[in-house]
Amino acid sequence: MAMSRENKLWFWLIGLIVCCLLLYFLRGMLLPFVAGMAVAYLLDPLARRLERLGLSRVFATVIITLSFFLCVVLLIGIVGPLVEDQLIGFGHRVPNYVHQLINRGEPVWRAAKSYLSTKDIEQLRTAGGEYAGTLATWAAGMFSRLLTGSLVVVNLLSLIFITPVVTFYLLRDWHGVTQRFDSWLPRAHAETIRQQLHEIDTILAGFVRGQALVCLSLGAFYALGLTVVGLDLGLVVGFAAGLGSFIPYLGTISGFLVGTGLAIAQSQDWTLAAMVAGVFVVGNLMEGNILAPKLVGEKIGLHPVWVIFALLAGGTLFGFLGILLALPVAAVIGVLTRFGLRRYLDSSLYSGETDEGTTP
């Protein structure tokens, strides 16, 4: 049955709306499936390489899946106790940090009192107390929702037990899934869609896989460097800064601010703060000149501002699920936008020419 252009447009528009509604209403249970799909996508090149070496797809999938999740468990088992020790030690030293910061701020406070009136000082104290109370209430509410929400427990258990199963089956059947999807493409536009999907895959492979390696490398470097220079909680701050580098500039900037702040509270002089700053300067130079060019590449088609916007928008709308979906969606939107722009520049709407090749 032939469909008019208008009917085709309505068909795809309704399909997109239905998909968005399903994603929104099922967002509470999709996390392990999306996480499993992301892990399978990341590991598929390794499975293809093992196939070229002569292993069957099933055997390669078993080896890769078990090795991947075993490495995750070992990493948690090794790093977990170290992080726990640092957190406990940090908690015991917090009163000393507060006392140190008060002593450092006392000269500044005395200088401010000489320039401010008693009324201004009282207003500053009142405003500071209100902001501190608001921040404490917000933080307590956020942690309370994270710790007591029933969906958190369900998602955690599903990530532990369901994600490995989803990863195994998707990784094993990746070729079959892609071929089945290819068979559903409208035949008249199949080649064009394949070209756009190939461009999306190139962008995701270049950014997601490459940036994941960059984040792990930076996390290891920052954690080791901050621990070596003697920063309390250096392991936690370093790993968090490295993993946070998935959002461009966020990890390095936030890690630098937190690390130097802790160094100022921890040490009597500026030596430790300077060494912490040096670790982040070296890490930033290493990321910009070695890691990113080698692992990510220069032309990935995703501007840093677009990446930041996509990740924040996805996290705001759908939480952690939205963060996982943000980059694929951003890549799709970017590819389709460039495709539409190329079509527009090649059309008479841009050139002003009529179908006969003359300008009206």
Q: pLDDT tens across 15-59, in order?
A: 888 888 888 888 777 888 888 888 888 888 899 999 999 899 999
99-117 as b/e, with b when 16 or more CB fall inside 10 Å? ebeeeeeeeeeeeeeeeee
pLDDT at position 104: 67
- Looking at the chain, how many residues does it have? 360
pLDDT tens digits, residue range 249-293? 778 888 999 899 888 888 877 899 999 999 999 998 998 888 877
Neighbouring C-beta atoms of residue 358, cutoff 10 Å: 8
Average pLDDT score, the chain: 80
pLDDT at position 72: 85
Q: How far apart are CA 10 and CA 3, in angstroms?
A: 10
Q: Is the pLDDT of residue 108 over 70?
A: no
Query: Per-residue confidence at 358, pLDDT binned at 50, 70, 90?
Result: low
Query: Per-residue confidence at 172, pLDDT binned at 50, 70, 90?
Result: very high
Tokens of 358: 């003359």
The phi, psi pair for 248, rounded to 5°, reads -50, 130
Neighbouring C-beta atoms of residue 173, cutoff 10 Å: 16
Whether 83 and 236 have beta carbons less than 8 Å apart is answered as: yes
Q: Is the pLDDT of residue 82 over 70?
A: yes
Q: Is the pLDDT of residue 166 over 70?
A: yes
**Element holding 291 (H helix, E strand):** none
Beta-sheet strands, E only, within the chain: none
pLDDT at position 50: 92
Q: Is the pLDDT of residue 106 over 80?
A: no
pLDDT at position 135: 58
Residue 316's Cβ-side half-sphere holds a number of Cα atoms within 13 Å equal to: 6
pLDDT at position 246: 78
Q: Span 4-11, mean pLDDT? A: 74
Q: Is the pLDDT of residue 146 over 50?
A: no
Burial of 294 (0-12, 13-18, 19+ CB in 10 A): exposed
Q: Is the pLDDT of residue 331 over 60?
A: yes
pLDDT at position 150: 46
* 3-state SS assignment for residue 173: coil
* 3-state SS assignment for residue 133: helix
Neighbouring C-beta atoms of residue 189, cutoff 10 Å: 10
Least confident of 127-141, 275-289, 323-337: 127-141
Q: Is the model more confident about 126 or about 174?
A: 174
Q: Span 194-201, mean pLDDT? A: 88
Q: Span 59-66, mean pLDDT? A: 92
pLDDT at position 244: 84
pLDDT at position 229: 93
Q: Span 333-344, mean pLDDT? A: 87
Q: How far apart are CA 242 and CA 286, in angstroms?
A: 12
Whether 214 and 292 have beta carbons less than 8 Å apart is answered as: yes
CA angle 237, 95, 131 (to 5 degrees): 75
Q: Is the model more confident about 29 or about 219?
A: 219
Q: How far apart are CA 243 and CA 233, in angstroms?
A: 16
Per-residue CA distances from 316 to 33, 164, 179, 322, 334 (Å)? 20, 27, 34, 8, 20
pLDDT at position 49: 92
pLDDT at position 62: 93
Q: Span 123-149, mean pLDDT? A: 59
Q: Span 237-249, mean pLDDT? A: 84
pLDDT at position 60: 92
Q: How far apart are CA 240 and CA 218, in angstroms?
A: 10
Q: Is the pLDDT of residue 154 over 80?
A: no
CA angle 207, 211, 217 (to 5 degrees): 160
- Selection from 27-36, 64-73, 130-139, 349-358 with the highest mean pLDDT: 64-73
